[in-house]
Structure 1
Amino acid sequence: MKKVIKKTAKKIKKDMTFYELIESNPDAARKLAERGMFCGGCPMAMMETVEQGARAHGVDVDELISELNTKKKSISKKRKAVKK
C-alpha cells in the first residue's frame, strides 16, 4: 500500500523564512516576484524572514502578509473546484 503525503499550505506569518514560505506555499513565489521580491532564488531565503525581506525591499509587511494569505485562500478554493 502506498502512502500519499499531502502538503497543506500554512498560514503565512511575518516570522517565517522565505524558504518556509515558498516550501509550504509555492504559489507565493509569483506574488513576491510581482513586487520585485525574487526571494525564492536568493541565498538569504533560508535565513531571512518575510518581515526582514519586506523591509529590505521597502514593502509594507502587514499588507504583504494579508495579500499572500488572501491569495492562498483563493488558490485553494480554485483547486478544490477543479477536483470536483
Structure 2
Amino acid sequence: MEVKDVKNAADVITADTNIIEAVQAHPEIMQVFADYGLGCIGCMAAQFETIGEGAGAHGLDVPALIKDINECIKANAAK
C-alpha cells in the first residue's frame, strides 16, 4: 500500500489513503466520517486500514464517501 502525504489541501484523498493519516492531516473530515456513521477514529483498525477498506467493511458507498471527504477539505481550505 502506498501512503501519500495528505497534509496539503491540494492533495486528493483516495480510497487507498490511510484513515488516521487523513484525519490527522485534515481533522475537519471527522464530521464526514460521523455523517456516514463511521466511528473510525476510535477503531484500532483505523491505524492500518485505508478509507476504502474501512468503509467497504461497513457496506458503504466508497466513491461517495471519498467525494464528500474531498469536498469537505476543499471547503475548509477556501475559508
Alignment of 1:28-67 (within 5 A): 28-67=29-68
Q: TM-score if structure 1 supplies the norm length?
A: 0.77
Q: Secondary structure at the match of 1:27?
A: helix
Which structure has the bigger radius of gyration?
1
Flag the structure with more relative contact order, 1 or 2, with Cα contacts below 8 A and sequence separation at least 6.
Answer: 2
Per the alignment, residue 23 of structure 2 pairs with 22
What corresponds to 1:3 in structure 2?
A: none
Q: How many residues align?
A: 72
Per-residue CA deviation, residues 8-27 of structure 1 (Å, 9 max, x unaligned), is: 34421111111111011111
Q: Percent identity?
A: 36
For structure 1, the residue ranges without an aligned partner over 5 or more in a row are 1-6, 79-84
Letter of the structure 2 residue corresponding to residue 75 of structure 1: N
Give, in whole Å, the separation in 1 of the partners of 2:12 and 2:27.
13
Using the size of structure 2 for normalisation, the TM-score is: 0.82
Counterparts of 2:44 and 2:33 in 1: how far apart (Å)? 16
Question: Could you tell me how far apart the structure 1 residues matched to 2:29 and 2:62 are?
Answer: 14
